[in-house]
Structure 1
Amino acid sequence: MTDDQITYRHSGLVCTDHTLDVPLDHARPDGPSISVFAREVVAEGMEGRDLPRLLWLQGGPGGRAERPNAAGAWLRRALQDFRVVLLDQRGTGRSAPADRTTLAARSDAATYLTHFRADSIVRDAERVRRRLQGDRPWTVLGQSFGGFATLTYLSLAPEGLARALITGGLPTLTAHADDVYRAAYRRTGTANSRYFDRYPADRALAERVAAHLADHDVRMPSGERLSVRRFQTLGITFGTSSGFDTLHYLLECAFVPGPHGPALSDPFLRGVDAVVSLASRPLYAVLHEAIYAQGGRATAWSAHRIRDEFPEFDAAGGGPLHFTGEMMYPWMFDEDPALAPLKATADALAHRTDWPALYDLDRLSSNTVPAAAAVYLQDMFVDHDQSLETASRIRGLRPWVSDTHLHDGVKADAGVLDHLLTLTAP
């Protein structure tokens, strides 16, 4: 296994880049390998100290690790006590990126991507840990999907963990994807109500945009068509602390006078494209339902099927327009050019049934690693009832329930990490 290191300084940070070769399939260590990338960050002036390490597991799936420019709330807090390791999870960033370009030449793309779930990410992390510090365990901080991966870490390699910290990322351990999305539609409906309560005039404006899209072939600056259903996916913004305001300020500039009447403005269309395009994180769509797949059942486009139980999300149904949330639909692979070449791959994964378990329930019930999780009552992405049920099944895990933070609480408020560290202090 190689480890090419490059060190540089900026913004009061000392960064060291590590690139390591790991097996594509950890069950076949002598088989094909891929390259994974991790960036280690330490506060300037502390680089000579023997600080413990903290691994940050990013949300997703398909999201690369944060890039430390002027470090945000959680990272600045973590750097007071730790060397922070920012791992690009395989398939993202600089870790064997998987997208329409790199997967184009693979006849086995679906099978290849079965090795890009939390179990493989955890085994990659263990390779990185042993390379950086031998047998010494480290602390893991998992945000959203990173929290899912943290529970897989507790299941597969608890000996590698000194502490397990989770924010907005306690998944159901046993439920099918149908149960996950059924609960997600209910939460997204609530988020719609809260949004229009804050900005009541936006209801008519959103309806006006949808009507315009239904009657016109509207193209975003990228050349992609903006359909009504794609417009609805802007509800993904509702899950973050600034999301309501982000959408409101986008909608307020929607219309401008055009040569043939009102037209959608370029600033509006460019802003929409920045949210709805998955060009920068295609695995978010391709693997989204696969992160819940285990137990011999296919997900079979769960979010798409379950939507029939919630007709209010059907823009053609005649009711008030509802924005959707963290749901991936098969039609996205027709309308998003970054996803279109991956349509067959996504469909094959959706109908796959031979997924291995991601969690060891016996090991979790006898867990000895100090663990704490922030559970957000208003989290649109992860169901708090399912999270608390999971917390009850993990020995020693201390849940902290907050009604003041949204899904990105740890990024918005350094106090979240502070509290989790306190809950797991020796």
Structure 2
Amino acid sequence: MGIGKVYLWNYLQRIVNALGALLVVLVMSAFYEVEAAGKFYALYSLLGIVSVFEFGYAILIVQRISKYSNCDFSIVNYDMEREISHYQTVIKFIVIFFVFTYPVLAYLVVGQIFSDAVYIILLLTLALGLSILLSMIGNVIEALGYIEKISKIRTIQAIFSYSALLVALFFGIGATSIFFLLLFQLGVFLILLVKLFKSNPLGFFIFSGFFRYTNLLKFNKNIFKNDVKYSFQIYATVLAGLFSNQIWVIAVTMSGAVEYISKVAMILQIITAAAGFALTPIASRLAEVSSYHHSGSKEKISALISKITRDVIIVTIISIVAVCFLYFIGDFLYPEKIVSSRSAMFFILSLPFLVATSLIGIVIQSGGKKDIVWVSVFRIAIPSLMFFYINENATDIDISIFYFISVTVSFFVAVIYFYKEMK
């Protein structure tokens, strides 16, 4: 595994995601009215809530299976096969549960916005269900040491899927352009995975196992009991991430403040992309950090986390400057389609606190035993008040101030929690 190449591909992926988000904002601002843009972002927000149905396993799988990353795969490893087989069963259950429950949640959000909401939601459910499955397969392969290859696949996937979305939006397809994004996302990822597995018997074994019939009740109870507590700790953190982004758009949509759906969604999309880009140093090396935890190498862990933290700080500063620059361009070209300068100030000031809170959480999570549960509770509880606080009379400044308070309170709770853990 070449760490330099892993960094390169992960940074490229984050750059593509950030540029993609920016270009989507520009296309929506230039070619769509506020109401049409609001419909697009309302539907787009439904993509993010997929994480609600993963129950923390997307992260947990990487941490648990990474202990086999240095094994000789030419030798049969029954422990590894048993563990992977267990997670295959769990993932199948997650996908089935998603297919039956996601449509209800999606309809509550956009059911009143689209006249053909039922058909849109059913297609969205099928596409996202397959997306969960393929993403989980990628996580298993990544955990086994193929970090560079999976990073490369995800980067190429992001390029094609964003390109498809932008072309569809440019030709005026509107909210349903999201299906072009999903089609290319699934197709490219599937094709590249199959290509990888042609020269990798282990990968083919893992891939085919997800499509074989399995009695969902015959999972490994010992592994499940060992995982369940920690998986829900991770789940709380994942939900907290959702409540710092997509849930705000959903709350504004359900409040009836239609004028601000697209405006808030645009600034949050840029903030989220910038935060994701800033966290690339830790995201790129999560499997490596987890592997060091399994080996008990405290000196290596300390040195690696110190380096990662420095990198995160540098990239965060670059991200803040970039977001400010982008806002000034947007305010000059399309002032009526973006949030006010005062509102933007609060959103941008939230960025370093958002990154720092996420970094603390990932560092603690990487050990595979603990999580910042109480921080996650705060990150969920405070935004939940939006459904009572925000109504059709709320302004973008009201929303941005509430967002800033939510992020900063969570940050200070995270710092206190981290200090206690390090004592």
Name the one with the larger helix percent: 2
Measured against the shorter chain, the TM-score band is under 0.3
Name the one with the larger strand percent: 1
Instruction: Give TM-score, length-normalised by structure 2.
Output: 0.26
> Highest relative contact order (Cα 8 Å, sep 6+), 1 or 2?
2
